[in-house]
Structure 1
């Protein structure tokens, strides 16, 4: 499969929310307990800009009629404090039909390529310890386990550990 990506626009929000909500119900990669709405997502979405903390949507170049099949967002690390602006926390969500087919790798490669132009030197992500597929994906792309936060989340009575992974791009 071949993929492309572009900066998300507000009209992409319904599909973004649909993809995210598909992940919410799995209880494997989000701490949201209930599906979100487009209106609830809009304020955080509008904070992203192409030149600071972009929000990309991905499409399958071989099946453009599918529209958006995944997304990657560069998020602020540690509450938007300027001293941390060299670090971006990544969020990747893929449509279930486009998981395990190279889309996650494509997006992580593109994020690493784009980061220097955004003034980003370090990429991080937090992943549930039970989400072995995502941990393998990030490790395959040079991310190391930098820490574990034991039992920091509870989903339907089940406590979850959170793993912090990171990759310094240079230096």
Structure 2
């Protein structure tokens, strides 16, 4: 599938939310337990409009449609961490298995230098072996393990922190 990446605009938010909400009931990709609304996500969306921590949509070229999204977010919100960012990658359920997550990850990494990002972190549920495998295959290493920090459906889950240093600066 031929795809392109575009900076997300407010008109993209409904599709971004739809794709995000698809992942909630699977309990693999997000700690949200109930779906979110476009209205609830507007402040989050606005935070990504400064250019510092962008949000991109992944568009299918053949059929003009949003098939995923990728974003950078601040890590911990303190000045000393300004060169470290958290990455989020979400792919429409109907388009999984087509390497779109890998493409999104590589695209975001290609933008990191201009954003002055030298470290990328991914917070992944430890039972999400497909995502751990994806990040591992792209050179990310396990930088931390937080045992039993999430409770979903009366079960406790671990969180794996994967990281990649892009520059020694």
* Contact map agreement 1:143 1:166 (CA 8 A) in 2: yes
* CA displacement 1:13-50 (0-9 Å, x = unmatched): 11111000000111111111100000100001101136
Correspondence for 2:62 = 62
Tell me, what secondary structure is at the counterpart of 2:150?
strand
**C-alpha distance in 2 between matches for 1:117 and 1:51:** 11
Q: Which residue of 2 aligns with 1:105?
A: 102
CA distance in 2, matches of 1:35, 1:49: 23
- Matched ranges for 1:27-46 at <5 A: 27-46=27-46
State how many pairs are aligned: 168
Q: CA deviation at 1:63?
A: 2.5
User: Cα distance, 1:109 vs. partner?
Assistant: 0.7
Equivalent residues in 2 for 1:113-152 (5 A)? Answer: 113-152=110-149
CA contact (8 A) 2:71 2:108 kept: no
TM-score, with length taken from structure 2: 0.96
Query: Structure 1 residue 82: deviation in Å?
Result: 1.7
Is 1:74 matched with 2:38?
Answer: no
Q: CA RMSD in A?
A: 1.0
Q: Unaligned regions of 5+ residues in structure 2, if any?
A: none
Post-superposition Cα deviations, 1:136-169, rounded to whole Å, max 9, x if no partner, equal 1111111101111000000001110000000000
- Give the C-alpha shift of residue 84 in structure 1: 0.7
Match of 2:162 among 143, 160, 165: 165
Runs of 4+ in 1 over 4 A off after TM superposition: none
Cα separation, 2, equivalents of 1:18 and 1:50: 23
Alpha-carbon separation, structure 1, partners of 2:162 and 2:109: 14
